[in-house]
Structure 1
Amino acid sequence: MKKNDINQLEDSFAKFVMLLSSLHSKELSTKIMDAILTIDGILDKYGIEKTAIAFNGGKDSTLLLHLFRICVTKKFGPDTQINAFFIRSNDEFTDLIPFVHKMASIYKLNLKELPGQMQHSLAQYKEQQPHIVAALMGTRSTDPIGKYMRSKIQWSDKGWPQFLRVCPLFDWSYCDVWKAIRGLSIPYCNLYDKGYSSLGECSKTTKNPALIIEGSEHRYKPASSLNDGNLERANRDQA
Structure 2
Amino acid sequence: MSGLSEKAAASRAALEGLLARAEPGRVAVAWTGGKDSTVALALWREVLESRGLGPLRALNLDTGLKFPEIIAFRDRLAREWGLELTIVRPEVDLSSYPVARDKVACCRDLKIAPLSRALREADIAVLITGLRGDEHAARAGLPFLEERPDPPHLRANPLADWTEMDIWAHILERGLPYCDLYLQGYRSLGCMPCTHLPTDPADERSGRDQDKEQHMAELRSLGYF
What TM-score comes out, normalization by structure 1 length?
0.74
User: 1:207: which partner in 2?
Assistant: 197
Please say if 1:233 is aligned against 2:205: yes
> Alpha-carbon deviation of 1:151?
1.1
User: Are residue 88 (structure 1) and residue 88 (structure 2) matched?
Assistant: no
How far off its partner does 1:99 sit?
A: 0.6
Q: List runs of 5+ in structure 2 lacking aligned partners.
A: 91-109, 212-225
**Superposition RMSD in Å:** 1.9
Once the two structures are superposed, what CA deviation does each residue of 1:80-117 show, in whole Å capped at 9, x if it has no partner?
33121101112110111011111111222111111132
Is 1:112 aligned with 2:81? no
TM-score norm. by structure 2 comes to: 0.79
The runs of at least 4 consecutive aligned structure 1 residues that moved more than 3 Å come to 143-146
Partner SS state of residue 235, structure 1: coil
Q: 1:146 to 1:133 in 2, by over 3 A?
A: farther
8 A Cα contact 2:31 2:41, kept in partner: yes
1:58-73 aligned within 5 A: 58-73=34-49
- Contact (CA 8 Å) 1:86, 1:111: kept in 2 or not? yes
Match of 2:174 among 175, 178, 184: 184
Q: How many Å separate the matches in 1 of 2:206 and 2:42? A: 27
Task: Say if 2:162 is the partner of 1:172.
Answer: yes
| 1:208-223 equivalences in 2 (<5 Å) | 208-209=198-199
Q: Which amino acid aligns with 2:187?
A: S
- Distance in 2 between residues matched to 1:128 and 1:145, nearest whole Å: 32
Q: Secondary structure at the match of 1:126?
A: helix
Partner of 1:225: none
Whether the 8 Å CA contact 2:133–2:160 is kept in 1: the answer is yes
Q: Distance in 1 between matches of 2:46 and 2:115?
A: 25
2:36 counterpart of 1:44: no
Are the structure 2 counterparts of residues 207 and 102 from structure 1 closer, same or farther at C-alpha, using a change threshold of 3 Å?
Answer: same
Which residue identity lines up with residue 37 of structure 2 in the other structure? S
Superposed displacement of residue 234, structure 1: 1.5
- Residue pair 1:122, 1:161 contacting (<8 A) in 2 also: no
Q: What number of residue pairs does the alignment pair up?
A: 192
Which has the larger Rg? Answer: 1
Q: Identity, % of aligned pairs?
A: 28
Mean CA deviation greater in 83-92 or 33-42: 83-92
Distance in 2, Cα, partners of 1:144 & 1:127: 28
User: Please, which of 125, 144, 169 is the counterpart of residue 118 of structure 2?
Assistant: 125
